């Protein structure tokens, strides 16, 4: 490929990376078009978290019109359902559902802490979902069959996890995200861990409330740990 045939890379500032609590912003359209779902636009700075990493997408509006964010193959966050006739360079106003964002950030951050506690037991993480009402972490039960063999044993492990979780939350800790020049983002929870992540997080563990480990079950060869959390 020669330089002359390359599409110039569109710059989009991901404001949601640093601004979990940035619920409204003025922005500029950096790309727009139409696909099978109708009109779409990409704006910068972008406050919308697209679905990814087990976290659902934000809901919100562009100039008052409801839009659904998703990540394009090129890596842009695009807003489907955007008003027609937007062009690159147009100034727009964006807003997201603040309560939903806070709920997603709380569930997601609690998932980091619980995942760390599972790994501290030696469990290997195999997946996660942070959707409200169905949040869970999956681990491989391999090598831990004995401690997970019966409902009573799993309940005892659940209680231990809850106790460890309560201790971490009582201690508290700041949550900080940093993105390097190459675009790799790391999220550090003070006193817990530091891991690559593209989601939204609360500012400190004190922002979490009603964090509960609900149930451990073995399903289709996976250990599934269901939990819930709210934003304080
Ligand atoms: Zn995260």
Q: What is the β-pairing status of strands 60-62 and 91-96?
A: antiparallel
**What pLDDT score does 34 carry?**
93
Ligand 1 centroid–CA 187 distance in Å is: 6
- Identify whether residues 14 and 87 lie together within a single domain: yes
**Packed helices 98-120 and 151-171: angle between N→C axes, nearest 10 degrees:** 110
Ligand 1 centroid–CA 112 distance in Å is: 6
Instruction: For residue 194, give the CATH number of its domain.
Output: 3.30.980.10
Give every strand in the sheet of 136-140, ordered side by side. 124-129, 136-140, 222-231, 208-219
Instruction: For residue 13, give the CATH number of its domain.
Output: 2.40.30.130
Ligand 1 centroid–CA 152 distance in Å is: 31
- Identify whether residues 142 and 215 lie together within a single domain: yes
- Identify whether residues 89 and 109 lie together within a single domain: no
**What pLDDT score does 74 carry?**
87
Residue 184's Cα: distance from chain center in Å?
15
Query: Among 77, 96, 115, which residue terminates a domain?
Result: 96
- Identify whether residues 50 and 158 lie together within a single domain: no
- Residue-wise DSSP of 100-149: HHHHHHHHHHHHHHHHHHHHHTTPEEEEEE--TT--EEEEE-TT-TGGGS
Ligand 1 centroid–CA 101 distance in Å is: 13
**What pLDDT score does 53 carry?**
82
- Identify whether residues 39 and 115 lie together within a single domain: no
- Averaged over successive runs of 10 residues, the pLDDT of the chain (232 residues) comes to 54 91 98 92 97 91 97 92 94 98 96 97 95 95 95 98 98 94 91 94 97 96 97 97
- Identify whether residues 227 and 116 lie together within a single domain: yes
**What pLDDT score does 18 carry?**
83
Closest CA to 109 of 206, 182, 221: 206
Domain of residue 144 covers 100-231
């Amino acid at each position: 490929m020669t330089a002359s045939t390359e599409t110039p890379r569109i710059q989009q500032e991901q404001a949601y990376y640093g601004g979990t609590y940035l619920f409204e912003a003025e922005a500029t359209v950096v790309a727009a078009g139409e696909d099978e779902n109708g009109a779409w636009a990409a704006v910068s700075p972008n406050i919308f978290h697209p679905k990814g990493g087990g976290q659902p997408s934000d809901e919100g509006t562009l100039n008052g019109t409801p839009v659904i964010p998703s990540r394009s193959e090129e890596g842009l966050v695009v807003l489907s359902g955007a008003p027609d006739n937007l062009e690159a360079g147009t100034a727009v106003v964006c807003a997201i559902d603040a309560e939903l964002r806070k709920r997603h950030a709380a569930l997601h951050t609690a998932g980091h802490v619980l995942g760390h506690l599972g790994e501290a037991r030696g469990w290997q993480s195999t997946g996660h979902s942070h959707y409200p009402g169905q949040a869970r972490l999956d681990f491989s039960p391999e090598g831990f069959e004995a401690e997970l063999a019966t409902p009573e044993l799993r309940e005892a492990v659940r209680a231990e996890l809850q106790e460890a979780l309560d201790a971490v939350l009582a201690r508290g800790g700041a949550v900080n995200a940093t993105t390097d020049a190459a675009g790799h983002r790391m999220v550090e929870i003070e006193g817990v861990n530091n891991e690559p992540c593209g989601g939204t997080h609360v500012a400190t563990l004190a922002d979490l409330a009603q964090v509960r480990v609900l149930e451990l079950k073995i399903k289709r060869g996976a250990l599934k740990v269901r939990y819930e959390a709210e934003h304080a």
